[in-house]
Amino acid sequence: MTKPIKLEPQPLREVWDRIKPGLEDIKALWPELSTWLVEDVYASLKAEESVVYVTEDGFAVCRDTTDQYSGTIDLFIWIAYSFKPGGNMIEKYLPSFIEVARSLGYRAVVTQSNHPALAKIDALEASYTEYRVLINGKGSV
């Protein structure tokens, strides 16, 4: 991991042409990890429900998530993409996301994925694992 750098949310119109191909790439490479549509991401950013942080290496789309029982609010890294093959935006910029979360008063930085690269990040602590049996569709029984 690198030392924290100051991350600032980027205006949608200024970065959309740069991040859209990455979103399309995620959809093509990992359809099982990305149930959202590219248009969902655009709409969320446009409505200011999410923010995007862009670096020279890639981008991350983040939003608030609230624990339904405690009411605590976390910074949720919804989508992360590296412009360079094999890059890991979350690993490289986790200290920066922690600083963003701390400065905005969040309880934690969280993400959800079964991407194997996340399991290799020592600072990330798995809080729960979801298990499922697909009834219809790919991999169903």
User: pLDDT tens digit string along 48-85?
Assistant: 999 999 999 999 999 999 988 889 899 999 999 999 88
Question: Torsion angle, CA of 10/50/99/54, rounded to 10 degrees?
Answer: -30
Q: Give residue 116's Cα distance to chain centre.
A: 15
Q: Which helix (H) or strand (E) holds 75?
A: strand 73-82
What's the one-letter identity of residue 85? P
What is the pairing mode between strands 58-66 and 73-82?
A: antiparallel
pLDDT at 136: 62
Local confidence band at 118 (pLDDT 50, 70, 90 cut-offs): low
- The residue ranking higher by pLDDT, 40 or 33, is 40
Which DSSP string do the residues of 42-64 spell out, in sequence order?
HHHHHTTSEEEEE-SSEEEEEEE
Q: Is the pTM of this model over 0.85?
A: no
Could you please state the CATH topology (level 3) that the domain comprising 12-120 is classified under: Aminopeptidase (3.40.630)
